Amino acid sequence: MNVFRRFAMSSVALATCALVAACESEPSEAEMTAAINQTYASINSDVGGIGNFIKKDLSTKVKSLKKFGCAQAKGKPGFLCDFEVTISSPIRDETKKETARFVKSDKGWSMMEK
């Protein structure tokens, strides 16, 4: 009976781990774009007043993003994602390849330090 109980508890634990892993999916390109734009939100609010004064949009935002792939972050929550992003700023557009960690909360995805 003790062997059966141990087997049953192990099966439940494995099933729970599989269920939790299946529920946690990596961010989509749209979710990554929103997270990066949220990162720029405070900068944009700071320069917004100046932009309104000179009647020009001075915000920095994601123009395009292409996700190459994501993997579960090791030792930290979320996913490490590789992507190419084009950032549009008042000065110029810049395209670069990046790796960043994205973490999901009840308010959506956020971009964090690796």
Report how far residue 70's alpha carbon sits from residue 23's, in angstroms, rounded to the nearest whole number.
15
CATH of 26-112, one of 2.30.30, 3.30.70, 3.10.450, 1.10.3470: 3.10.450
User: What Rg do the C-alpha atoms of the chain give, in angstroms?
Assistant: 20
Q: Please report, for the chain, the start and end positions of each structural domain, with discontinuous segments joined by +.
A: 26-112
How confident is the model over 29-66, as pLDDT tens digits? 999 999 999 999 877 887 777 767 777 788 899 999 99
pTM: 0.73
Spatial neighbors of 52 by CB under 8 A, at least 6 apart, are: none
Q: pLDDT tens across 88-106, in order?
A: 998 899 999 999 999 999 9
Assess contact for 77 and 113: CB atoms under 8 A.
no
Strand order through the sheet with 79-88: 61-72, 79-88, 93-105, 108-112
